[in-house]
Amino acid sequence: MLKKLGLVAVLSVMATAPAWAESSCGGEPIPPDVPSVAALGQMSPADALKAKHQAFVDVTTWQKTALKDYRNCLDADENQIKRDRANAASQSKPDQDKLKRLDGQIADDEKANTSSADTEERVVNDFHALSTAFCARPDVDKSSCPKT
């Protein structure tokens, strides 16, 4: 009975190990929900203006706080791993398994950083589409729209 319980515990730990290894920074921050162009078209002019303004506030807040903190963490983590790798590589007999593991961690941080940039680009493009659709409406105050 004890052997089975021990085996279950070991398998449980092994199953969750990849999640621990991903990053000390946690997962990518959840981006704000930007209303769709179609949804904006169904709103009254006042509601459309509020939705556009709230989307702007949400996107910029997300960029300046959660996304910035996440990327700073990834950068710090990657820099520390690079220092650890340099120290490990400078040993008289470098541990090749450790170097491979550190290389994998560096690649994971770089992948996470690229993914967060892709997400940011998608969110900003969604906001730009929303803003463009708002400014194209004939029934709204265009004072917040770019001058053409």
> Distance (Å, rounded) from C-alpha 75 to C-alpha 70?
9
Q: Could you give the 3-state DSSP secondary structure of residue 82?
A: helix
Query: Would you state the torsion angle of the CA atoms of residues 119, 122, 126, 131, taken in this order, to the nearest 10 degrees?
Result: 100
Element (H or E) spanning 124, and its range? Answer: helix 96-136
Q: Are 32 and 59 in contact (CB under 8 A)?
A: yes
Which amino acid is it at 29?
A: P
Radius of gyration of the chain (CA): 23
pLDDT tens readout for residues 17-74? 344 345 689 999 999 999 999 999 999 999 999 999 999 999 999 999 999 999 999 9
